[in-house]
Structure 1
Amino acid sequence: MQTLPQPPSDVPAPPPGAEALKSQRLMRIIFWIGGICVFPFAGMLLLGFLIGPGHQNPDRSEAMRNLRDIALSLFEFDAAYGRFPDASTIPAVKSATATPLTLDDSSSNKLFRQLIANGLKSEKPFWAKTPMTPLRPDDICNTDANALAPGECAFAYIAGLTSSDDPEAPIVVGPLEKGKTTFDPKPFQGKALILNLNISVRPLPIQKDGRVLLNGMDIFDPRQPFWKGKAPNIKWPE
């Protein structure tokens, strides 16, 4: 059998192409997410065993699961476009997907539409039972009239982040009061749900004035180390 000519052993291999680099980036993210997710999940199981089923809030548990689903879609998007959905990714998403949906950065609903355009088949991860979202999404998301329509998204979104930012930075939060940086304590037994870039979902206590404190200051305070001196670009749900 005739063998093909081989390059000399001292010749370096050619650099990987763009698709290979994208695949390598996605695999690193998958392994990283998998490693991070094991410990919080085990902790949740232990906590659930210790506190017993009678003390768990099923609405909050569902919302936390949905936030983790959003996290996976966000990191898949970041692997494809180099950052999480924001105004700067809209042209690339339109070009790559030919989506019929109107994409803009006026709300979390509109920015999360980029995840749907990128292949997410369900609207349900964006939902949680709150006064603003009394009905579950219908998973009909092929037109502007029904793709994450007003009332189908419960979470606010922090635009402008990438997977290389501070792992402690919040990226999706709720239930945030419309146009404010205060949280509604009623839906989840006085807790705010915070999805961080390290894929953890933290139920943090809401203060009497509606704020959530972290490191002794408001979670949205630009002095928080993860905001690097800039106020977060909050997008509220419709």
Structure 2
Amino acid sequence: MNATLPPQPPPDVPAPPPGPEAVKSRRKMKGILWIGIACMLTIFFAGFIIMPSERNRRIADRTEASQNIRQVHIALLDFESEFGSFPDTSTSRVVKTDTGTKLNLGSGSSSNELFRQLIAYGVNVESIFWAKTAVSPRKPNNVLGSNTLAKGECGFTYIAGLSSSSDPSAPLMMTPVIPGTWEFDPKPFQGKAVVLHVDGSVKHYPIDKDGHVIIGGLSIFDPRQPYWRGKGPDIKWPE
């Protein structure tokens, strides 16, 4: 026996309106959709607002580091005119004697200690020795005394044993070096290192994927670099 199909509406007859449950479900789906779109737009525009702000801040930090490192170079030249060389362990005793400083010049094992010789000689601020890095998160308050250039207030690595008569292209100061290594931290300055050379030039070098600054195919610290003349640099990292 053949089943009889229910009568079908003509094709040109409009579909019946959705029931209450269908309307409610459709509204719910629309609400979820609009919430999702709103979230996506918020994330999208926040990226445009926040990312440039972060980028600009890091550029400003790099600029400040460059300005400070130039100021230190001026102080180094002034110091050399008085003591015959840039600060190192050999100048510590004469600086203490000549200036009568009460600052802790230490053994010269860190850039903090060697830069205190500059302050003892007449540099009346700490802030020029600062760059915003992972090891120097807080800016010095320029209050000189027992806490002058305390740990975390110096951002520059320093190469001891150089003078203005050294190879002009030799790196003299740099940031942001990871203490105890030849590696640079790429985060503070958007993948760039700030390097002061003996001749006073300041350059921004890219940091490679392994954390190295490469010049002529070699690490900037490699003793094979022509400017080191076969002798490894006496690197003084900040505390």
Would the TM-score normalized by the shorter structure come out above 0.5? yes
TM-score (norm 2): 0.75
Percent identical residues: 52
Larger Rg, first or second structure (1 or 2):
2
Instruction: Pick one of 82, 86, 99 that aligns with 1:84.
Output: 86
Q: Measure, in 2, the Cα distance between the counterparts of 1:165 and 1:132.
A: 29
Query: Which structure 2 residues correspond to residues 53-202 of structure 1 after superposition, within 5 A?
Result: 57-103=59-105, 104-143=107-146, 146-202=147-203
User: How has the CA–CA distance of structure 1 residues 213 and 102 changed in structure 2, closer, same or farther, with 3 Å as cutoff?
Assistant: same
Amino acid at match of 1:72: I
Q: Measure, in 1, the Cα distance between the counterparts of 2:208 and 2:134.
A: 19
What do you get for the CA RMSD once the two structures are aligned?
1.5
Amino acid at match of 2:207: I
Shift of 1:190: 0.2
Which residue matches 1:237? 238
Q: Secondary structure at the match of 2:123?
A: coil
Q: Measure, in 2, the Cα distance between the counterparts of 1:70 and 1:78.
A: 12
Q: Measure, in 1, the Cα distance between the counterparts of 2:182 and 2:119.
A: 27
TM-score (norm 1): 0.75
Q: Measure, in 2, the Cα distance between the counterparts of 1:108 and 1:204.
A: 21
Deviations 1:97-141 (A, max 9, x none): 010112121100000000000000000011111122221101112
User: How has the CA–CA distance of structure 1 residues 138 and 192 changed in structure 2, closer, same or farther, with 3 Å as cutoff?
Assistant: same
Shift of 1:56: 7.8
Q: Secondary structure at the match of 1:57?
A: helix
Gaps in structure 1 of 5+ consecutive residues: 1-52
4+ residue segments displaced more than 4 Å: 53-56
Query: Which structure 2 residues correspond to residues 213-224 of structure 1 after superposition, within 5 A?
Result: 213-224=214-225
Shift of 1:216: 1.5
Deviations 1:68-124 (A, max 9, x none): 000000010011111000000011101110101121211000000000000000000
Shift of 1:153: 0.2
Q: Measure, in 2, the Cα distance between the counterparts of 1:133 and 1:220.
A: 22
Shift of 1:55: 9.9
Q: Secondary structure at the match of 2:159?
A: strand
Q: Measure, in 1, the Cα distance between the counterparts of 2:174 and 2:58.
A: 20
Shift of 1:154: 0.6
Amino acid at match of 1:197: V
